[in-house]
C-alpha cells in the first residue's frame, strides 16, 4: 500500500491531528488507521490542539483567503474566527486556552510580512500582541515567551544564511524584555518552550522562578540547519547546552508539542519525539482514503491552451493544451486526439507538409526528444540520439521533412527528420535565438541573433552550405524576421527610432515608441514598394473585379506553378543588402509580429500604457491590434482588436488569430469595418469553439511528469553547471519516490519547493497551477482599526487610514467628503445588521469587496446616523501610504525640516513610481533618508542609484524666482539609506551598491541575500511556473558573497520586540541622527550670489571720457 503525504501534525495526549489531502485527520499517538475530520473544498494547514485538547484551531482557505477556524478537538463543525482577508497561520494557543495566536499579513503595509495577533476562541475582534513582526510564539510556564522572526519553515531554502534567517527572541520573565536567544550560523525556526513534567504530568513546581531551576527542567526546542540539515535541537533558557535530538536526511518541519512529546513531519512521514526518553519513532499511519484528488477528470482546452497552428491544408487547427495535442476542423468535424495521454507532455507540435504526420517535442518520462507521429498505428519515431537540449522554438520546413529548432543553450539547429541528423547552425553568446523562419524555397533560414547585451541583428544561413550572411548588423535591436511569400522582401521589426519624448513628471527623455516596421528588398533591382508608380486615370487597381476568366485562370496557374517549382531557389543579392532597408510609412510604436501575404503585410500593434496596472514583463497583452499594410493602397488599416498573436497559413490566405483564451480564423481580406459583433463560435464569426475538446487529466501521472520536468528545467537552466556543488541527480532520486504519495496539488507544490530548496539558492520558486477550487468570498475593507466598545455597543474607530485622501483606492472610504466620520466614533450596525461582542467588523463585510455598504455611526455627540460608503477590495496600498506619511512627518518634525524622507517598496514599476514621487520634493531638503526596508526587489536599482549619485554643481539664478539647482533634481547634502532583512533581490543589490558607490551610510540590518536572478518563462503542464536561478550577481568588492548572506549595514540597528511594543523605530531615528550629524560636519555648499558681473564699459575706454 502506498503511504500518503503527511504534514503539519499537532498533539495532545494520545490524539495526533495532521494534514493530508488538504484535510484534517486524527490518529493515535502510536499510529494506526487515521480518521478524517474535515471534507472541505479548500486547503487546510497549521492545526493546533488547545492546551486541554478540547478544541482544534487550524488555517483554511475554504472561503477565499487563508483564515483561522476552530472546531472540537475530536471533530465536528468548524467556525471561522478571523476575517482579515490576508494570510493567517495558526501559531498556537494562549496558555489558558482562551484565545488562538496566529501570524497574519492583515493590516500590514507590506505583503509577506506577518505580525502576531490573538483571537478569542469564542469569537470577536482579534488584538495585536504588540511585539512586532514575528511568525511563531511559544509560552513558558511563568508568563515567559519565546518568539521566532522571519521564517517558520526552513526547508524551502535549505542552508539559508541570509539576513532573513529565523532568529529566536526570549522574554524569560514575562515582563516584555526580550533578548536574542541564540547566535547559530543557521536558520533557526519553530521554538517550543517545554517545561519537563513529573510522572503525573504536572509542571515541576512552577512557582519556582526560572532562574532557580536546573537547565534540564526547561528547554527551548527548535529546528535548525546550522549543521547542514534541519533537525530538532534544544538549548537551555540562556541559549546554552545545545543538544541535537534527531539525525534525519530530510528536514524536520513544523514541530508541535503538548509538553510530553513533540510531533513533526519529515520527508512526508510523521514522527513523535518522546521527551521522557529522548527517542524518536516514526508513526505508521494509514489513511485508507480513495485519494479523490487523484481521480481522473476532464478540462476544457481553453483553460490550458499552450499553442496553436494551422495545418498545411488550412482547414483545421492543431493545438496543444494541457500537454496534449488535438486536431480539429475550424467549425465542423470531430476533435481528434494526437498524443499519448495524460502523463506524457507534448510541446511545440507542428504538422509536416504532407498533413499526415506531425513533429512534437515529447516528454514521456525520459529525456525530452523530437518525435515524428502519425495518424496511423505506426509507432512514433523518436529522435532521442540527438542532443538538442530543451527546445524553446520550432519551425517546419515548407518543402522538406525537416525542422529548425532553437534551445535553452542559445543554439539554433537544423534537423533532417528522415535522416535523423542534426546540424548546428549558430549560437548566441547573449540570449536565446527565438525569432527564425524558413525561406519559401526551404533552402535558407533567416533569424535574429543577439550580438551584444543590447543589440541584435538579422542573419541568414544557407542550409546546405552553412554559409551565413548578415542582413542587418549590430547598431539596433532587430527581431521577428519573416519572408514575403513571393520572395521579394524580408520583413522585420527594429528598435531604431530615437525620437525622444519628454517625461511628464521628471526632467528626463525616453523612447517609449522606438520600434519600426522594416523591409529589405532581396533583389537589388527591385524598387521601393512605397513609391507609387504612374498609371492611367481609368486603371482599376482591383484587377479581380474586371479580369476575364482567362486572366484569372492564368494568374491562378501561375501561382500554382511557382509553388511547385521547388528547384527554383530564392534569389537574394547580398551585396549592399544592408543599404536596402526601408521603413514602412507607419509611425513608430510597439509591435509584436510582422508577416506577409501577397501584396499585404500583417502586424500586431500594442498601445503605450503605464506599468502599475498592467504586465511589465514584456509579454504581449490582449490589448493588441492586428493591422494590415496594403501595398496597393499604400496604407495601413486595423483588422481586429484584443489580439495577442497570429499565424498565417501555407495558402497565404488564412489567418489564425490568438486572443487571451480564444482562437479565431479570418481571411487575409478580412476588414474590421465589416466585422460583426458576434462572439458565438462558427463560420460566420470565425471564432473556434474550444469546448469541443475535452482533455482527460490524470493528476497522479501529471505530477510524476511535472516533478521530473521541474528537476530537468533546473538542471538545464541553473546558472552554474555544477549546480553549486549539489548532486542534483541524487537529489531527484531521493525526492522522486515521494511523488506517488502526493494526493493533492498543494502537496505536490510542497514537494517541488522542498526538492528545489536543496540547491540552497534564492529565487527557486514554484507557483500557480491547477488547484481544487473553493469559494472565494472577497471581503470589503474600510481602512480603519477598531475595538469593541462594550458601553456603546459597537466598534470604536481607533484609527482611520489616511493614505492618499484624493485616491479612493489608497485611503479609507470613511474619509470621503461630507461623511464627517472621525476617530472615536462607533459603528453600531453594518448593512442593517447590529454588531455584538462576538461579531467582528470584517465578518460583516465578507463578500462585499468594492460594494456600497450602509454603516450606522454613533458619534460622541448627536444622534446616530446612517452613511453609505464603497468598500475597498484591498487596503494594503492605503496602509502603505499611511505608513510612509507617518514616517515622513516624524522625520520632518524631528529634524525641523532639514531631512527629507522617501521609501521604495520594490525595485519594479511601483518602486520607481514611489521613488520618483518622493524624490521630487524630499531631495530639495538639506539631507535625505532613502528607506529600502521591506523592498521586494525588481530591476530598476541602477536607475535610482544613478539619480541619487547626481550631485549638485551649480545654480540657475533668476531675478524674480529662487535659484534653480543644476543638475536639476540633484541632492546637495548627505544621503542616508535604511535597509533591513526584508530587503532582497534588487533590494540587496541597491543596498550593496549604495555602499559601494559611497553615497552615504547604510543603516539597519543585514539584507535578505538573494541575488541570483530569474526569468520565469517555463510553464509546467498544468499552467504552474517554476523559476530557475539563471543570473548570478558578482560584485567587484565581494564577488559572489551577497548571495545567501546579504549585505551588512555600515551601522547595525536592531528593532527589538519591546521597541515595537513601545511604537519606536530605532532604525529611522538613527538615520535622522546620522543625517543631522553629517549636515553639521559637512554642510551643503551655501552659494554666494554676491559679486555679480559688472558689464559696464571700462572708464578707460569710455567715448565720453575721451571726448573731454
**Residue 368 cell numbers, joined:** 525530452
* Residues across the chain: 1108
Long-range Cβ pairs for the range 1065-1069 (8 Å, 24+): 1065/887, 1065/890, 1067/933, 1067/978, 1067/980, 1067/1003, 1067/1004, 1067/1005, 1068/887, 1068/890, 1068/891, 1068/929, 1068/931, 1068/978, 1069/894
Alpha carbons 41 and 62: distance in angstroms, whole number: 6
Catalytic option among 985, 991, 1024, 1027 = 985
Ramachandran bin of 80, using left for φ above 0, alpha for ψ from -120 to 50, beta for the remaining angles: beta
Under 8 Å between Cβ of 932 and 987 = yes
Catalytic residue flag (residue 763): yes
d(CA 256, CA 10): 5
Name the one residue in this structure whose C-alpha cell is 535597509: 979
Instruction: Return the residue matching grid coordinates 521566532.
Output: 148
Interatomic CA distance for residues 738 and 752, integer angstroms:
10
Q: Cβ(643)–Cβ(591) under 8 Å? A: no
Which stretch of DSSP H or E encloses residue 850? none
Q: Could you confirm whether 605 is annotated as catalytic? A: no
3-state secondary structure of 942: helix
640: three-class secondary structure by DSSP: strand
Cell numbers for 826, please give them: 462607533
E strand spans, 241-355 = 243-244, 253-257, 261-266, 269-274, 279-282, 285-286, 297-300, 305-310, 316-321, 324-329, 336-337, 345-351
What is the number of alpha carbons within 13 Å of residue 149 lying toward its C-beta?
Answer: 22
C-alpha pair distances (Å), 452 with each of 449, 473, 971: 9, 11, 34
Beta-bridge partner residues of 438: 445
Is 285 in contact with 6 (CB distance < 8 Å)? yes
Cα distances from 803 to residues 559, 883, 906, 921, in angstroms, run 67, 8, 18, 18
Closest CA to 701 of 1021, 362, 343: 343
Task: Give the closest residue to 322 by CA, choosing from 42, 66, 695, 760.
Answer: 695
Catalytic residue, candidates 89, 763, 903, 992: 763
Check if 1043 is active-site.
Answer: yes
Cβ-count burial of 712 within 10 angstroms (0-12 exposed, 13-18 middle, 19+ buried)? Answer: middle
Name the catalytic one among 702, 758, 766, 1043. 1043
Q: Which residues are catalytic?
A: 763, 985, 1043
Amino acid at each position: 500500500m502506498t503511504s500518503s503525504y503527511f504534514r503539519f501534525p499537532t498533539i495532545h495526549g494520545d490524539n495526533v491531528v495532521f494534514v493530508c489531502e488538504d484535510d484534517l485527520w486524527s490518529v493515535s499517538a502510536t499510529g494506526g488507521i487515521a480518521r478524517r475530520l474535515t471534507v472541505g473544498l479548500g486547503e487546510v494547514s497549521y492545526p493546533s490542539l488547545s492546551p486541554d485538547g478540547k478544541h482544534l484551531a487550524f488555517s483554511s482557505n475554504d472561503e477565499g483567503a487563508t483564515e483561522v477556524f476552530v472546531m472540537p478537538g475530536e471533530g465536528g463543525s468548524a467556525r471561522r474566527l478571523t476575517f482579515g482577508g490576508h494570510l493567517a497561520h495558526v501559531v498556537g494557543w494562549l496558555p489558558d486556552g482562551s484565545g488562538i495566536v496566529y501570524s497574519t499579513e492583515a493590516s500590514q503595509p507590506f505583503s509577506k510580512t506577518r505580525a502576531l495577533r490573538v483571537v478569542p476562541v469564542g469569537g470577536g475582534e482579534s488584538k495585536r500582541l504588540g511585539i512586532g513582526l514575528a511568525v511563531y510564539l511559544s509560552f513558558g510556564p511563568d508568563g515567559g515567551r519565546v518568539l521566532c522572526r522571519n521564517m517558520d519553515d526552513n526547508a524551502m531554502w535549505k542552508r539559508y544564511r541570509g539576513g532573513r534567517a529565523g532568529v529566536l527572541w526570549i522574554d524569560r520573565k514575562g515582563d516584555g524584555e526580550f533578548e536574542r536567544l541564540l547566535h547559530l550560523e543557521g536558520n533557526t525556526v519553530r521554538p517550543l518552550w517545554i517545561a519537563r513534567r513529573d510522572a503525573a504530568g504536572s509542571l515541576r513546581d512552577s512557582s519556582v522562578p526560572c532562574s532557580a531551576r536546573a537547565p534540564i527542567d526547561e528547554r527551548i526546542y527548535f529546528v535548525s540547519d546550522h549543521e547542514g540539515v534541519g533537525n530538532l535541537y534544544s538549548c537551555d533558557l540562556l541559549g546554552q547546552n545545545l543538544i541535537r535530538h534527531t539525525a534525519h536526511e530530510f528536514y524536520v518541519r513544523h514541530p508541535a508539542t503538548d509538553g510530553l512529546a513533540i510531533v513533526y513531519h519529515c520527508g512526508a512521514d510523521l514522527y513523535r519525539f518522546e521527551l521522557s526518553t529522548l527517542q524518536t519513532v516514526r508513526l505508521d499511519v494509514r489513511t485508507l482514503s480513495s485519494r479523490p484528488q487523484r481521480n481522473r477528470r476532464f478540462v476544457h482546452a481553453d483553460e490550458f491552451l499552450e499553442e496553436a497552428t494551422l495545418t498545411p491544408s488550412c482547414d483545421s487547427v492543431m493545438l496543444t493544451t494541457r500537454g496534449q495535442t488535438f486536431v480539429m476542423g475550424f467549425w465542423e468535424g470531430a476533435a481528434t486526439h494526437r498524443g499519448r495521454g495524460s502523463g506524457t507532455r507534448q510541446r511545440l507540435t507542428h504538422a509536416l507538409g504532407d498533413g499526415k504526420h506531425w513533429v512534437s517535442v515529447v516528454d514521456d518520462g525520459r529525456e525530452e526528444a523530437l518525435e515524428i507521429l502519425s495518424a496511423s498505428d505506426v509507432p512514433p519515431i523518436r529522435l532521442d540520439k540527438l542532443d538538442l537540449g530543451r527546445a524553446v522554438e520550432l519551425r517546419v520546413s515548407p518543402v522538406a521533412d525537416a525542422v529548425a529548432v532553437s534551445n535553452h543553450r542559445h543554439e539554433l539547429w537544423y534537423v533532417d527528420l528522415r535522416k535523423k541528423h542534426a546540424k548546428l547552425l549558430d549560437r548566441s553568446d547573449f540570449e536565446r535565438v527565438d525569432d527564425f523562419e524558413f525561406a519559401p524555397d526551404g533552402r535558407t533560414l533567416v533569424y535574429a541573433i543577439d550580438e551584444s547585451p543590447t543589440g541584435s541583428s538579422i542573419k541568414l544561413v544557407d542550409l546546405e552550405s552553412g554559409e551565413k550572411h548578415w542582413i542587418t548588423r549590430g547598431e539596433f535591436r532587430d527581431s521577428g524576421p519573416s519572408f514575403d511569400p513571393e520572395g521579394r522582401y524580408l520583413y522585420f521589426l527594429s528598435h531604431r527610432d530615437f525620437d525622444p519624448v519628454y517625461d511628464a513628471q521628471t526632467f528626463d527623455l525616453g523612447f517609449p515608441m522606438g520600434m519600426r516596421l522594416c523591409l529589405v528588398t532581396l533583389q537589388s533591382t527591385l524598387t521601393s514598394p512605397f513609391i507609387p508608380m504612374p498609371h492611367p486615370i481609368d486603371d482599376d487597381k482591383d484587377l479581380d473585379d474586371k479580369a476575364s476568366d482567362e486572366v484569372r485562370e492564368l494568374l491562378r496557374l501561375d501561382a500554382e506553378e511557382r509553388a511547385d517549382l521547388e528547384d527554383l531557389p530564392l534569389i537574394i543579392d547580398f551585396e549592399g543588402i544592408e543599404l536596402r532597408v526601408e521603413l514602412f510609412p507607419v509611425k513608430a510604436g510597439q509591435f509584436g509580429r510582422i508577416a506577409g501575404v501577397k501584396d499585404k503585410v500583417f502586424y500586431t500593434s500594442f498601445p503605450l500604457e503605464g506599468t502599475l496596472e498592467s504586465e511589465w514583463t514584456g509579454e504581449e497583452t490582449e490589448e493588441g491590434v492586428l493591422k494590415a499594410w496594403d501595398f496597393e493602397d499604400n496604407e495601413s488599416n486595423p483588422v481586429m482588436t484584443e489580439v495577442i498573436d497570429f499565424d498565417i497559413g501555407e495558402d497565404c490566405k488564412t489567418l489564425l488569430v490568438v486572443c487571451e483564451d480564444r482562437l479565431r480564423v479570418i481571411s487575409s481580406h478580412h476588414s474590421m469595418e465589416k466585422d460583426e459583433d458576434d462572439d458565438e463560435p462558427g463560420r460566420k464569426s470565425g471564432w473556434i469553439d474550444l469546448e469541443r475538446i475535452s482533455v482527460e487529466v490524470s493528476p497522479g501521472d501529471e505530477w510524476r511528469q511535472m516533478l521530473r520536468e521541474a528537476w530537468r528545467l533546473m538542471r538545464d537552466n541553473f546558472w552554474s553547471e555544477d549546480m553549486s556543488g549539489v548532486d542534483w541527480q541524487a537529489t531527484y532520486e531521493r525526492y522522486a519516490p515521494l511523488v506517488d504519495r502526493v494526493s493533492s496539488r498543494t502537496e505536490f507544490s510542497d514537494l517541488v519547493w522542498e526538492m528545489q530548496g536543496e540547491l540552497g539558492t534564492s529565487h527557486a520558486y514554484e507557483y500557480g497551477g491547477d488547484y481544487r477550487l473553493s469559494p472565494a468570498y472577497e471581503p470589503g475593507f474600510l481602512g480603519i482599526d477598531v475595538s469593541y466598545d462594550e458601553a456603546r455597543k459597537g466598534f470604536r474607530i481607533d484609527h482611520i487610514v489616511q493614505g492618499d485622501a484624493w485616491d479612493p483606492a489608497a485611503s479609507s472610504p470613511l474619509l470621503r467628503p461630507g461623511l464627517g466620520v472621525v476617530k472615536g466614533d462607533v459603528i453600531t450596525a453594518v448593512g442593517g445588521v447590529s454588531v455584538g461582542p462576538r461579531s467582528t467588523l470584517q465578518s460583516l463585510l465578507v463578500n462585499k469587496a468594492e460594494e456600497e455598504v450602509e454603516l450606522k455611526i454613533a458619534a460622541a455627540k448627536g444622534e446616530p446616523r446612517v452613511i453609505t460608503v464603497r468598500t475597498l477590495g484591498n487596503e494594503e496600498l492605503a496602509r502603505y501610504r499611511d505608513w510612509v506619511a507617518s514616517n515622513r512627518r516624524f522625520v520632518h518634525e524631528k529634524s525641523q525640516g532639514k531631512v527629507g524622507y522617501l521609501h521604495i517598496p520594490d525595485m519594479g514599476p511601483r518602486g520607481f513610481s514611489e521613488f520618483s514621487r518622493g524624490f521630487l520634493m524630499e531631495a530639495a531638503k538639506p539631507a535625505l533618508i532613502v528607506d529600502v526596508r521591506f523592498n521586494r526587489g525588481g530591476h530598476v536599482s541602477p536607475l535610482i542609484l544613478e539619480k541619487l549619485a547626481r550631485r549638485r554643481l551649480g545654480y540657475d539664478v533668476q531675478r524674480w524666482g529662487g535659484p534653480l539647482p543644476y543638475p536639476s533634481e540633484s541632492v546637495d547634502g548627505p544621503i542616508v539609506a535604511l535597509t533591513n532583512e526584508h530587503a532582497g533581490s534588487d533590494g540587496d543589490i541597491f543596498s550593496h551598491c549604495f555602499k559601494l558607490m559611497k553615497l552615504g551610510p547604510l543603516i539597519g540590518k543585514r539584507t535578505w541575500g538573494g541575488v541570483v536572478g530569474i526569468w520565469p518563462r517555463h510553464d509546467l503542464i498544468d499552467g504552474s511556473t517554476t523559476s530557475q536561478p539563471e543570473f548570478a550577481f558578482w560584485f567587484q568588492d565581494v564577488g559572489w558573497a551577497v548571495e545567501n548572506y546579504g549585505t551588512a549595514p555600515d551601522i547595525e540597528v536592531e528593532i527589538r520586540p519591546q521597541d515595537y511594543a513601545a511604537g519606536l523605530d530605532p532604525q529611522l531615528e538613527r538615520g535622522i541622527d546620522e543625517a543631522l550629524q553629517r549636515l553639521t560636519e559637512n554642510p551643503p555648499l551655501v552659494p554666494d550670489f554676491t559679486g555679480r558681473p559688472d558689464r559696464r564699459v571700462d572708464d578707460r575706454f569710455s567715448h565720453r571720457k575721451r571726448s573731454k
